[in-house]
A and B are shown apart, each in its own frame.
Chain A
Amino acid sequence: MPINLAILTIKKAHEGMLSGAFSAVDLATAYLEEIKKKDGDINAFREVFADVIEQAKKADEKFAKKEGVNPLLGIPFSIKDNILIQGRKAGASSKILEGYVAPYDATVIARLKEKGVVFIGRVNMDEFAMGGSTENSAYGPTKNPHDLGNVAGGSSGGSAASVAADFSLASLGSDTGGSIRQPAAFCEVVGLKPTYGSVSRHGLMAMGSSLDVIGPLTKTVEDAEIIFDAIKGEDKYDSTSFSPVKEISTISPKKIGIPKGLLDMGGIDPEVKANFKEMVLKLEKNGYQISEVDLPHLSYSLAAYYIIMPAEVSSNMSRFDGVKYGIKKEGGNLLEDYLNTRGEGLGKEVRRRIMLGTYVLSSGYYDAYYAKANRVRNVIREDFSKAFTLVDAILTPTAPSHSFKIGEKTSDPLAMYLEDIFTVTANLAGIPAISVPSNIQIMAPHHREDILFAIGKDIEKLR
């Protein structure tokens, strides 16, 4: 009997393998067949690994021996191309890293290997995670499985599309300003950006180090919760990682805040507004208390983000110099080697952000831009702290539109940046946020992913 991938969740897949209804090899084969059929059109994968069946066989052996059986054993994952798996290529969808082979496992990968998951392949993204549509990939955009004329979103567009198109049951992505949540919203899947520092970034190619987080993209909220529990926690290889100081007593969240003036903001698609209002009403009818919350500095968050992020990008990207890894474009001297390698190896958006970052950090402009943006960030964090004394969670749309056409925003970088208007605040404040279909974002206080999961599961039922 063929496996119905469309309705599969981690729990159902686990029960199927546990009961012997199908094996991990059957499951992996079913996904590989879908990839063969459809990925020529969608372009989610940068590489499908050659040893998928061997990995699945190992999972089946464990099931047979009843050794290390857990909900993730044999579960097929796709991995964003900026997360390292030892011995496999990783390229962040950039030409500058062509030929690069990961020398070690990212901590999240090591933790998933312990659980015995099956890595199907590495998936497409905006180059070095810079973009909101995967159109900045050096290897062509990933198309939206629900509408091939539309983008999959980004930067974790390959991750979102691979889950939506049934190419893998789950995926890991990274989120600096919305890169997990926005493609999840565009592809109608779940995307979790955990609390800053709750998941180790060791082995993730750095973009904005005070903002970057790794998180799961899945079919359901419960699946995201299972994966988050497997990858979270302090790691000695990432000094910014930490576990919550004290155990949090789970509450049943009942109070939801909507930022004052949110829906009056320009540029929100009327359909997105209507869909959001409808979900708010449904939640209210189902026992939630809805109130407006005041986040007075919210409107400054996108501007602050587009100063802090490029500043950190300009610093992090200096490691790509044609000396240590990837390609090298020869010049007459060392300086020309740098200029040529970075000029030819890095795409335009990456170079634009490096230059912007160099500008805002340069002496004479530092105080007006970078120093000021950090103060903005601080007041935004305080706004959220105050709001969370009144409500358990804050609700917004994830993205101002449900998706857009391929090529629609490529000529105007600022228009593309405005896509991040609802998502960047969680990264600035370091708080967790989840996107659940259709295009709804929930934000909660630091380390309160439990609140996101509780409300997210209710939204799934109310859709």
Chain B
Amino acid sequence: MSISVEEVRKLAALSRISLSPEEEASMQSEISSILGYVEQINKADFGTDADLPEHRNVWREDGEVNESGAYSEALLANAPAREGDYVKVKKIL
């Protein structure tokens, strides 16, 4: 399996990652070689999804895990841009 430079660009855009032109070329060959390796799993039969174990619910009940606001300042202090108690971002729409 090999992927094209266009596919690398599309993947980078979907992944929200910028690449230099040199990186685009090296990613193309490296990702192709990794995909070539992992593709061996398509050579054999490993059953169906019905054979997979069942999941169980591990979610907790709704409710506050800590006192409201206990970590707000520490968390906000890590934001690269803030305004008061808000994280500042550029306009979305």
Contacts and interface: CB of A to CB of B under 8 A. Distances in A.
A337 B90 contact: yes
Interface string A358-372: 111010000011011
Interface in A191-242: 236-237, 239-240
Interface residues of B, number: 48
A355 B27 contact: yes
Contacts of B81: 323, 328
A379 B79 contact: no
B41 A414 contact: no
B34 A413 contact: yes
Contact of A324 (B33, B74, B79): B79
A105 to B, nearest CB: 12
B67 interface: no
A358 B15 contact: yes
Contacts of A343: 17-19
Contact of A356 (B34, B42, B77): B34
B31 interface: yes
Contacts of A335: 16
B68 interface: no
A173 to B, nearest CB: 24
Contacts of B16: 318, 321, 335, 338-339, 342
Contacts of B91: 333-334
A318 B17 CA distance: 10
Nearest to A87: B74
- Among B37, B46, B47, B52, which residue has the most Cβ atoms of chain A within 10 A? B46
B23 A348 contact: yes
Contacts of B60: 236, 239
Interface in B1-60: 3, 8, 11-12, 14-19, 23, 27, 30-31, 33-35, 37-42, 44, 46-49, 51-53, 58-60
15 contacts: A101-B77, A236-B65, A237-B65, A239-B60, A306-B34, A307-B38, A340-B18, A343-B17, A352-B31, A355-B17, A356-B34, A373-B41, A375-B49, A375-B51, A376-B46
